Amino acid sequence: MDCERWPYGDLAHLAHVELITPKPEESLWFFTEVMGMTVSGEEGDSVYLRGWDDYEFHTLKLTAGKAPALGHLAFRTKSLEALKRRVKALEASGLGEGWTEGDLGHGPAYRFRTPDGHLMEIYYETVWYTPTEATRPALKNQASRFPGRGANLRRLDHINILASDVGAVRTFLETYLGMKVTEQIVFSDGTEQGAWLTCNNKTYDVAITKDHLGAKGRLHHFTYAVDSREEVLRAADICLEHGVFIETGPHKHAIQQTFFLYVYEPGGCRFEIACPGARLLLAPDWKPIVWNEEERKRGQAWGLKTVETFHTYGVPPVEEA
């Protein structure tokens, strides 16, 4: 059915990320004080956070745990019918895990795993963020007040998951979630090294990168967006002042042309502050851009060589063979 696949598609957008952190207090400090996100709620071992223009109750769920890792990621569907259609497809995939009640931020969600083991969920019923006295915006077409604190992250942008088999995860997202590949890396030996997929007009909501350490189901990074490249530069200044480890950047990726800054949050997870600019995926017949090994060797957009850790580090950390 038309509706099921992009450019229609049943998914609305990447909705939230749950990050497990072995240093919950420090991670919380990082996301609120350094990054400028705001706490919208707390429950058990989890703290719920959001960027100032995220419309939902939360886009980040920070949960205390033994090692840094992706707890789960979630997509919101376009409607209840869309949710039902996806659940039906996922049940047939053999990778479905069943329904949850949802949590502070949203209603019933159906959980499933990618072939590589990443835990995901989809839901429709959500909680729209209600500003408090302290977070009420001056302009009512804005989710909450511009905080004027730290990097002032605007909204969740995307997530990059590591996979032992990129093609398998990509196919899974295309087949069962109706996502579309916008850019890809394919090496000379034919191996798929990376894939970027979207379910809307953003050029990507999910990236899948080859896990060079052969592990399964790990997380490379997740990303929030700011409005300008100058704010990404300021985020670098702010991270430097706070002793946050800057892994690489600021610079511009050749792939997707995202202007990026990668840091490690205190729990150990790689986190990105990015500016997508006015770049959107509007063409319904967009053909994926495929980058080859030779092109990848040229480095980032303006020639920056990718640091080695970018190719190996992820969470949970694994020993290199």
User: Per CB under 8 A, which of residues 191..220 are in contact with a second copy?
Assistant: 200-202
240 contacts a second copy (rule: CB under 8 A)? yes
Cβ within 8 Å of residue 311, ≥6 positions away = 212
Q: Which of 224, 222, 228 is nearest to 209 (CA)?
A: 222
Cα-flanking dihedrals φ and ψ of residue 4, to 5°?
-80, -25
Kindly state the smallest distance separating residue 264's Cβ from a second copy, in Å: 12
Quickly tell me which residue has 């077409």 as its tokens: 141
137 contacts a second copy (rule: CB under 8 A)? yes
Beta bridge partners of 273: 224, 261
229 contacts a second copy (rule: CB under 8 A)? yes
C-alpha distances in Å from residue 33, one per residue of 177, 181, 235, 296 = 35, 35, 12, 36
Cα-flanking dihedrals φ and ψ of residue 3, to 5°?
-60, -25
* 301 in Cβ contact with 248 (< 8 Å): no
Give the pair of three-digit tokens for residue 63. Answer: 């949960």
Give the pair of three-digit tokens for residue 243. Answer: 């002793």
Kindly state the smallest distance separating residue 85's Cβ from a second copy, in Å: 9
Nearer to a second copy, 186 or 261 (CB): 261
Nearer to a second copy, 115 or 194 (CB): 194
Nearer to a second copy, 113 or 202 (CB): 202
Question: Which residues ranging from 79 to 98 are in contact with a second copy (CB under 8 A)?
Answer: 79, 81-82
Candidate list 225, 269, 273, 315; residue touching a second copy; CB under 8 A: 225
* 224 in Cβ contact with 155 (< 8 Å): yes
From 5-13, 64-72, 186-194, 207-215, give the range in contact with a second copy by CB under 8 A: 5-13
Between vectors from CA 217 to CA 87 and to CA 31, what angle results, nearest 5°? 95
Question: Which residues ranging from 146 to 175 are in contact with a second copy (CB under 8 A)?
Answer: 146, 148-151, 154-155, 157
Nearer to a second copy, 142 or 312 (CB): 142
Question: Which residues ranging from 96 to 125 are in contact with a second copy (CB under 8 A)?
Answer: none
- When computed from its CA atoms, the radius of gyration of the chain, rounded to whole angstroms, is 18
As a whole number of angstroms, the distance between CA 98 and CA 218 comes to 22
From 19-27, 185-193, 229-237, 310-318, give the range in contact with a second copy by CB under 8 A: 229-237
302 contacts a second copy (rule: CB under 8 A)? yes
Cα-flanking dihedrals φ and ψ of residue 230, to 5°?
-60, -35
Candidate list 57, 252, 273, 315; residue touching a second copy; CB under 8 A: 252
Question: Which residues ranging from 41 to 70 are in contact with a second copy (CB under 8 A)?
Answer: 53, 55-56
Question: Which residues ranging from 262 to 291 are in contact with a second copy (CB under 8 A)?
Answer: 275-280, 282-284, 286, 289
Give the pair of three-digit tokens for residue 166. Answer: 């990129």
Quickly tell me which residue has 């409005």 as its tokens: 227
186 contacts a second copy (rule: CB under 8 A)? no
Candidate list 25, 42, 97, 230; residue touching a second copy; CB under 8 A: 230
Nearer to a second copy, 190 or 243 (CB): 243
255 contacts a second copy (rule: CB under 8 A)? yes
Q: Site size for a second copy, by CB under 8 A?
A: 82
254 contacts a second copy (rule: CB under 8 A)? yes
Nearer to a second copy, 36 or 65 (CB): 36
Between vectors from CA 306 to CA 174 and to CA 232, what angle results, nearest 5°? 80
